[in-house]
Structure 1
């Protein structure tokens, strides 16, 4: 059970790192962070049987969409951390290594490329955005930062535990 809670903490920590990167990226590059309210809107419309939109920003707003979107964002981060631990084994929690976390972070970019972006109207791997290659690169960088966050959060957790 301790390993489960450790993976949850690592997922939350990695997602916080990813969100911190979004704020840094805005300051350094002028690229706005992801709008998780729109993710909440997309998810909220699923309850009514609508899974795909031409442009999610133009869809009818959903009550508490920001809360839903942010909650889903952190839940997904936790699920990704749990999957990393399931693949690498609980030993990774006690002796985390960078490579599996970084590679897994990059693999998780498949979720927005294959599910979220098409469902929200941006097309497969951001193909319907004004600058698809730039959007793809930013997604890959952001998910790589998530992978670094998985590793860093595991190291930090171990430091707090005195491992």
Structure 2
């Protein structure tokens, strides 16, 4: 498979694995399933020049926000896969290692901690949420699962 297609497949595959984890997490832990509508609302308001909200749920809805959110979610997965490849090189796609994927996946938690959560009104590293420690732990687990997904998806394309 072409390296660029492998990279795209790896990002999409890792994101699918993350979404499957979200469904499993709901049944195991009673946590809500993933819904990226608020991400879509945030992105929609960015297009209008507003990058930070006190509470994104209180912001006015944006047409197509659910679709925008899910597209952003998958595009982010592909962008993160590209970030990993930018660091380790395309060779990794042919011989993926789980350590590199997990370390990178955990590192991507900086994006929600420092960009998304503050921008959507949850504060740095979910500091303005009802239970910041639980939110942080779930973010770390989620990004570790994404890292695992990067490795698993790359394994599938490395044949």
TM-score by length of 1: 0.95
1:4–1:82 contact (8 Å) kept in structure 2: no
* 1:79-117 deviations in Å (ceiling 9; x for gaps): 100111121111111111110000000000000000000
Provide the secondary structure at the position in 1 that maps to 2:6. Answer: helix
Aligned-pair CA distance for 1:73: 0.5
Q: Quick one: distance in 2 between partners of 1:13 and 1:137? A: 23
Specify the alignment match of 1:31 in structure 2.
Answer: 31
Q: Counterpart of 2:100? A: 100
Detail structure 1 runs of 4+ shifted over 2 Å in the superposition: none
1:35 Cα deviation (Å)?
Answer: 2.4
1:53–1:120 contact (8 Å) kept in structure 2 = yes
Q: How does 1:76-87 map to 2 (within 5 A)?
A: 76-87=76-87
Structure 2 contact 23–34 (Cα < 8 Å) conserved: no
Unpaired stretches in structure 2, ≥5 consecutive residues: none
Equivalent-residue separation in structure 2 for 1:83 and 1:4 (angstroms):
13
